[in-house]
Amino acid sequence: MDDLIEAARDVQDRAHVPYSGYRVGAALETADGEVYVGCNLENANYSNSLHAEEVAVAEAVKNGHRDFSRLAVSSDRRDGVTPCGMCRQTLAEFCDADLLVLCDEGEAVSEYTLGELLPNAITEEMLD
Protein backbone atom coordinates (compact mmCIF):
# COMPACT_ATOMS: atom_id res chain seq x y z
CA MET A 1 0.00 0.00 0.00
CA ASP A 2 1.20 3.51 -0.81
CA ASP A 3 2.80 5.37 2.13
CA LEU A 4 0.55 8.39 1.50
CA ILE A 5 -2.59 6.24 1.79
CA GLU A 6 -1.18 4.75 5.00
CA ALA A 7 -0.65 8.25 6.42
CA ALA A 8 -4.27 9.16 5.57
CA ARG A 9 -5.48 5.97 7.24
CA ASP A 10 -3.35 6.51 10.35
CA VAL A 11 -4.66 10.00 11.08
CA GLN A 12 -8.32 8.87 11.02
CA ASP A 13 -8.02 7.73 14.63
CA ARG A 14 -7.70 11.38 15.65
CA ALA A 15 -10.89 12.47 13.88
CA HIS A 16 -13.64 14.05 16.00
CA VAL A 17 -16.86 12.64 14.51
CA PRO A 18 -19.54 12.37 17.22
CA TYR A 19 -22.35 13.20 14.78
CA SER A 20 -21.66 11.27 11.59
CA GLY A 21 -19.31 8.57 12.87
CA TYR A 22 -17.57 8.89 9.48
CA ARG A 23 -13.81 9.19 9.95
CA VAL A 24 -11.79 10.74 7.14
CA GLY A 25 -8.04 11.24 6.91
CA ALA A 26 -6.04 13.13 4.33
CA ALA A 27 -2.32 13.26 3.61
CA LEU A 28 -0.88 16.02 1.41
CA GLU A 29 2.60 15.60 -0.04
CA THR A 30 4.68 18.65 -0.87
CA ALA A 31 6.89 18.84 -3.95
CA ASP A 32 9.92 18.24 -1.72
CA GLY A 33 8.41 15.11 -0.16
CA GLU A 34 7.12 16.38 3.20
CA VAL A 35 3.72 15.05 4.24
CA TYR A 36 1.04 16.94 6.17
CA VAL A 37 -2.01 15.14 7.49
CA GLY A 38 -5.48 16.17 8.54
CA CYS A 39 -8.63 14.53 9.85
CA ASN A 40 -12.22 15.68 9.96
CA LEU A 41 -13.31 17.64 13.03
CA GLU A 42 -17.07 17.88 13.41
CA ASN A 43 -18.90 20.60 15.28
CA ALA A 44 -22.48 20.62 16.57
CA ASN A 45 -22.95 23.59 14.23
CA TYR A 46 -22.23 21.52 11.12
CA SER A 47 -21.10 24.51 9.05
CA ASN A 48 -18.18 24.98 11.45
CA SER A 49 -16.87 21.46 10.88
CA LEU A 50 -13.45 21.07 9.28
CA HIS A 51 -12.75 18.53 6.58
CA ALA A 52 -9.61 16.40 6.56
CA GLU A 53 -8.32 17.89 3.31
CA GLU A 54 -8.73 21.46 4.61
CA VAL A 55 -6.82 20.62 7.78
CA ALA A 56 -3.95 19.06 5.79
CA VAL A 57 -3.76 22.06 3.43
CA ALA A 58 -3.81 24.49 6.37
CA GLU A 59 -0.96 22.66 8.11
CA ALA A 60 1.16 22.64 4.96
CA VAL A 61 0.52 26.29 4.10
CA LYS A 62 1.08 27.31 7.72
CA ASN A 63 4.51 25.69 7.44
CA GLY A 64 5.38 27.67 4.31
CA HIS A 65 4.56 25.19 1.54
CA ARG A 66 2.86 26.20 -1.70
CA ASP A 67 3.92 23.44 -4.10
CA PHE A 68 2.18 20.06 -3.83
CA SER A 69 2.41 16.79 -5.73
CA ARG A 70 -0.13 14.33 -4.28
CA LEU A 71 -3.07 14.05 -1.91
CA ALA A 72 -4.42 10.83 -0.40
CA VAL A 73 -7.92 10.62 1.07
CA SER A 74 -9.26 7.70 3.09
CA SER A 75 -12.33 6.99 5.17
CA ASP A 76 -12.65 4.32 7.81
CA ARG A 77 -15.13 2.61 5.46
CA ARG A 78 -12.57 2.36 2.62
CA ASP A 79 -15.30 3.49 0.22
CA GLY A 80 -13.17 5.46 -2.23
CA VAL A 81 -14.20 8.81 -0.77
CA THR A 82 -13.16 11.80 -2.89
CA PRO A 83 -12.79 15.39 -1.68
CA CYS A 84 -16.13 17.21 -1.52
CA GLY A 85 -16.79 20.26 -3.68
CA MET A 86 -15.73 22.71 -1.00
CA CYS A 87 -12.45 20.86 -0.45
CA ARG A 88 -11.84 20.67 -4.19
CA GLN A 89 -12.10 24.45 -4.39
CA THR A 90 -9.78 24.87 -1.39
CA LEU A 91 -7.27 22.55 -3.06
CA ALA A 92 -7.56 24.55 -6.30
CA GLU A 93 -6.52 27.68 -4.40
CA PHE A 94 -3.20 26.10 -3.42
CA CYS A 95 -2.60 23.25 -5.89
CA ASP A 96 -2.27 22.89 -9.64
CA ALA A 97 -4.87 21.06 -11.70
CA ASP A 98 -2.40 18.18 -12.14
CA LEU A 99 -2.30 17.41 -8.39
CA LEU A 100 -2.68 13.63 -8.12
CA VAL A 101 -5.56 12.65 -5.82
CA LEU A 102 -5.49 9.09 -4.44
CA CYS A 103 -8.77 7.72 -3.05
CA ASP A 104 -8.66 4.67 -0.79
CA GLU A 105 -10.95 1.79 -1.73
CA GLY A 106 -9.38 -0.73 0.64
CA GLU A 107 -7.57 -3.16 -1.64
CA ALA A 108 -7.50 -0.68 -4.54
CA VAL A 109 -6.79 3.02 -4.98
CA SER A 110 -8.57 5.26 -7.49
CA GLU A 111 -6.46 8.02 -9.01
CA TYR A 112 -7.68 11.35 -10.32
CA THR A 113 -6.17 14.73 -11.00
CA LEU A 114 -7.62 17.75 -9.26
CA GLY A 115 -8.52 19.10 -12.71
CA GLU A 116 -10.61 16.00 -13.40
CA LEU A 117 -12.40 16.37 -10.07
CA LEU A 118 -12.92 20.13 -10.46
CA PRO A 119 -12.86 21.32 -14.06
CA ASN A 120 -13.09 25.08 -14.55
CA ALA A 121 -12.24 25.87 -10.92
CA ILE A 122 -12.71 29.41 -9.65
CA THR A 123 -9.24 30.97 -9.68
CA GLU A 124 -7.65 34.24 -8.68
CA GLU A 125 -7.37 35.19 -12.35
CA MET A 126 -11.17 35.01 -12.70
CA LEU A 127 -11.55 37.71 -10.06
CA ASP A 128 -9.55 40.32 -11.98
- DSSP code of residue 41: B
53 is catalytic: yes
Q: How many helices (H) and strands (E) does the chain have?
A: 4, 5
Distance of CA 112 to the CA centre of its chain: 12
* Nearest one of 60, 76, 94 to 24, comparing CA atoms: 76
- A 10 A CB-CB count for 45 gives 7
* Candidates 53, 54, 111, 124; catalytic one: 53
For residue 15, count CB atoms less than 10 angstroms from its CB and return exposed for 0-12, middle for 13-18, buried for 19 or more.
Answer: buried
Active-site residue list: 53
